[in-house]
Structures are given as C-alpha cells and as structure tokens.
Structure 1
Amino acid sequence: MRVGAHVSVAGGVDNAIDNQRDVGGNCGQIFTHSPQVWQNPNVGDGEAAAFREGTAAHLDGPWVIHSSYLVNLCTPKADLRANSVDSMQREVDAAAKLGIDYVNVHLGAHTGAGTAAGLDNAVSALDELDVPEGVTVLIETDAGSGTKLGGEFEHLATVLEESSHDLGVCLDTAHVFAAGYDLSTRAGVDETVAEFDDVVGLDNLHCLHLNDSKHGCGTNKDEHAHIGEGLIGVEGMRRIVTHPDLWDCPFVLETPTENGKSFAWNIDRVRELRG
C-alpha cells in the first residue's frame, strides 16, 4: 500500500525523506517553500540529488508538490493570473529537478466572473505552462465554498477535456465530502467512485488526499479530521482504502496534529483499515 503524509522540507528538501520515514510513510507530499508567499523554490543541485537518491533508496513514491495557496488559476485579474502562472512554472520545473511526478493545484476562485469564465481562465492559464516531460499537473477537488471551483466533478472534467496538457486529478476525500458527495457509507463511496468514473474517468485519478472531515456532507467547510474520527467515519474510510478501483492509488494524508495524534497515528490507522 502506498500511503504517506505531507511532510516538512525545513533545512533542505532532502530532509523530507527522513521526515516521511519517521511517520511510516512510503510516498508523500511537500511544499517547496512557504505556501503563503510568492517565492522561488530555489532547490540546490546537491539537495535535489540527495532527494532523488533518498527516494529511490528508501521510499516507494510517488511524491507530490503542492502549489502555493496564493495560486488562483480561475482569476479574472491579470496580475494575479501572471503570478499564478509564474509560480506554477517554477513548481513544475522544481518537480522535474527533484524527479517528482506530480504538481498539485486548486483551480481557485472566479471571484464573480462566473463558472464558465473561471474554468476558461484556468484552462488558458494552465496552457501557458511549459510542463517538463515526466511531470503531470493534478487538479485537486475543492470543498466548493464561495466562488471556488473544483467542487463539482464536472468542473474537473471540463478543465481536463479543454486543456492542451495531459492533466490528472487529485481527489481529496474531505473536500469531496464537504462539496456534497457522501463518503460516510459503503454505498455512498461506491456511488461517488462510480460518478467520478462516469464524469471524469478513473484513468485520470493519480492520487488521493486521504482526510476525514470535521464538518458534514455538503457544508462546503474544509477542515480535516483524524482518519475515522470525523464525519466520514470508519465505515466510509474503510471502504475508500479498500475500494477495488482505488486500491492502487497513492494515499497522501493532510490530517491534523492534535489530541496526541499526528501523521504516524493516522498512517497506522489507514493500514489497519486496509486489513
């Protein structure tokens, strides 16, 4: 089973290897820099080599780079769009340097431009990228609050169909649940997976962010909970990690550190639910 967590790169991106092993993960996700600012990943050649070598020696992979929280592909604002495209280009270039397969990004918010215009903006922004060979941009599902797009599978399907790039999808279980897809029961998971396959296609699903939710289905509230201890719960989580169509997907946790539980506890929990 490929399961891991979003780990720190403090002190050098190559430190993510030991950080991942410390929590019992064999794949995972990183930020290349603080996600709250516009910043160059600035990965040195030595760090990159150590990261590639450490991954090959100790982990199964894959790794995912999560883009900056400031990126907004759907925006109608020219300056924000330019910064978003520039930031994404730096991330896909860093991924190529590090030997990382995926760069994950939210579509962002249309901020009043409307759904159709927002999706068009996202497609055209993505199409400005020069994506290196071996790197795939993943569009992450969203909880769907306000004018944010990506909360409906149809949004993802539109971007994948219209972009000139061969994009993929990262499905976040907490986001999908908050957006109104019920994952709290075996039947609900089966229905959601079937709908995803019908609308987007399971062949486009490259990664799952495995998170329970502190808020109910359809609330559009994005707050993650420990695996099996949120409102998705044990039944839903067990079905997600044992569903035959999701069996081979890498699961990356973004669960909280609270109540004496952190990534290691959650990774053990996932393996326990897998059986």
Structure 2
Amino acid sequence: MTVRVGAHVSISASKASNDPEKPPHGNIANAVFRQEQFGGNCGQIFTHSPQVWQNPNIDDGEADLFKSETDATLEGPWVIHSSYLVNLCTPKDGLREKSIDSMQREIDAAEQLGIPYVNVHLGAHTGAGVEGGLENAASALDELSIPEGVTVLIESDAGSGTKLGGKFEHLAQVLELSEQDLDICLDTAHAFAAGYDLSTAEGVEETIAELDDVVGLDHLKCVHLNDSKHACGTNKDEHAHIGEGLIGEEGMNAFVNHSAIADVPLVLETPTEDGKSFAWNIDRVRTLRNEA
C-alpha cells in the first residue's frame, strides 16, 4: 500500500512553479504544484493567513483548477487548517461568534475546493473550566452548517495553560456532546508534549490502544506527523524533523508502521532548518515505512 504522506504547504504564488503553464500568481492551485515539488501525495493548507481574521477569497476558476490539478497529480486528501485565532472553548460571546463565522467560511471553502476535511484546535477555556470549555466547543460546532462531503476534525493539543484537547478524553467528550458527525486529527508532537509517550514501540502501542479505547480509531482521519524538540509531558509545542527529535527514530518507525496508521494520511508540519525541508522529511517517512 502506498503511504499517503505530504506537507502543510503555502498557497502563495512565490516559487510555486517554474512551468510557464502553471498559474503564476495568487491561485490556490499553487499548493498542488508545491506539494508535487516536495514529493507529497496529500497535504494541508491555510486558505489565508492564520494569524488574522480573514475570509477565504477563492473564485470558481481557481477552485476548478485546484480540483483538476489535484485529481491529476495527487492521491489526496487535502485538509484545510482553520485560523489560529479560532477558539471554540471560549466563554466570550464576541470571540465565539467570530470563531463560528470563521469556521463556517472554511467549511464553505472546503466544499468549493472539494476538500474533505477542516481541521481545528478546540482552543482555551480561559476560566470557563474544562467541562464548561468542552461544552462551549460542542455547542459552537453545532451552530455550523456542514455539507455532505466535508468533515470537521478536532486536533489533539499539547495542552499548555487552559488549552483543551491535550487529553484524549477531551476529544471524545466533544464528539459525544456535539450533534455533528465529527472526527479527529492526531498530532504526534502534541500528543507527546501532552504526556503520551511515543518514543518507544511499547509506548506507541499503548498510546494507540488508549486512543482506540477512549475515542475510537474509526474517528482517526488524519495524522499531523511531527517529531518534538521537547520532552514528553512538557506541554511544549515545537516540531522537529522526523526521527531527529525526542520521539526519535524508534518511536517514529513504530508509529508509521503501526497497522492502525496504515491508510491514514500523514501531514507533515516539520521545520525547514539544518538544510532539511519538507522533501527530506517526506522521504524519511517513506524510508521508515519501507523498513517494516
């Protein structure tokens, strides 16, 4: 089985392609060409800067080109990552409404682009308490109009401060409380930072078994595959190259070769540093899978 692995790539026009027949500026299809350059066959995008409240601005021509180029060159799927400003757990009415509006626009963009998943962090409860924050998140998600063919994925978190999603129980509770058909995205660096030891084969087995027991592996639709620059349980979220962080080669090898992960798309959010880019990390994943 061909591993589905790719990167979170930019949609910006700069350095998207040297081919004069490719769209040169401002076209979301730049993400497809960039993914090809890295050697990926699936991936993730932001539809706009994740640091500001901004709406996706995609015309039908761009969307059609994105879909046709994806169908022609990639196995898929794509994932849209929501804005970092979205906070579903917030008790603040203004932020809640902005978060719901932002999520709805990302969902609408996913439908327009033929993208099956929109990924989101639960956010921070900022004083509402764990239970209150999870209830806020579920009720916010219930206000969304999610069309057939699009699924919202709740991403696991590193769990610092009042952020929720660091425990598998948080993910399970939101899935149970919400009336929507939701699934999850597991981030390996986040899970490691939150205290799930993925650095050994035994730790990987235990973590995946716990995920299955608490949430259910049938809900696992995407993995953000990242090594970690910080130790297990530190709640520090900083990504490292695959096999070169504190999860390390043994843990990464065990994880990517686990039967539960065999057909789950792996999206890299690894750094570009030390002369290593997404291409190096994608090749690294394929090498580890070939060692099984």
Tell me which of 131, 142, 157 is aligned to 2:172: 157
The AA in structure 2 aligned to 1:129 is L
CA–CA distance in structure 2, aligned partners of residues 88 and 50 of structure 1: 23
CA–CA distance in structure 1, aligned partners of residues 161 and 75 of structure 2: 38
Instruction: Name the counterpart of 2:226.
Output: 211
Q: Secondary structure at the match of 1:245?
A: helix
Q: Mind listing any 5+ residue stretches in structure 1 that lack a counterpart?
A: none
How many residues align? The count is 275
Q: Secondary structure at the match of 1:42?
A: coil
Residue 23, structure 1, aligned to residue 74, structure 2:
no
Instruction: Name the counterpart of 2:213.
Output: 198
Q: Note the C-alpha offset of 1:56.
A: 0.5
The AA in structure 2 aligned to 1:176 is A
Instruction: Name the counterpart of 1:110.
Output: 125
CA–CA distance in structure 2, aligned partners of residues 234 and 13 of structure 1: 34
Q: Note the C-alpha offset of 1:164.
A: 0.7
Instruction: Name the counterpart of 1:46.
Output: 61
Instruction: Name the counterpart of 1:264.
Output: 279
Instruction: Name the counterpart of 1:78.
Output: 93
Residue 148, structure 1, aligned to residue 150, structure 2:
no
Q: Note the C-alpha offset of 1:133.
A: 1.1
Instruction: Name the counterpart of 2:76.
Output: 61
Q: Note the C-alpha offset of 1:199.
A: 0.1
1:100-249 alignment, distance < 5 Å = 100-249=115-264
Q: Mind listing any 5+ residue stretches in structure 2 that lack a counterpart?
A: 13-25
CA–CA distance in structure 1, aligned partners of residues 64 and 246 of structure 2: 42
TM-score between both structures, scaled by the size of structure 2:
0.94
Instruction: Name the counterpart of 2:6.
Output: 4
CA–CA distance in structure 2, aligned partners of residues 160 and 251 of structure 1: 22
Structure 1 residue runs of 4 or more that deviate by more than 3 Å after TM superposition: none
Q: Note the C-alpha offset of 1:76.
A: 0.2
Q: Note the C-alpha offset of 1:263.
A: 0.1
The AA in structure 2 aligned to 1:26 is N
CA–CA distance in structure 2, aligned partners of residues 22 and 87 of structure 1: 30
CA–CA distance in structure 1, aligned partners of residues 27 and 171 of structure 2: 33
1:25-53 CA-partner distances (Å, limit 9, x unpaired): 00000000000001110111110000000
The AA in structure 2 aligned to 1:149 is L
Give RMSD over aligned pairs: 0.4
Q: Secondary structure at the match of 2:184?
A: strand
Residue 36, structure 1, aligned to residue 38, structure 2:
no
Of residues 102-111 and 3-12 in structure 1, the stretch that sits farther from structure 2 once superposed is 3-12
The AA in structure 2 aligned to 1:2 is R
Q: Note the C-alpha offset of 1:162.
A: 1.1
Q: Secondary structure at the match of 1:65?
A: strand
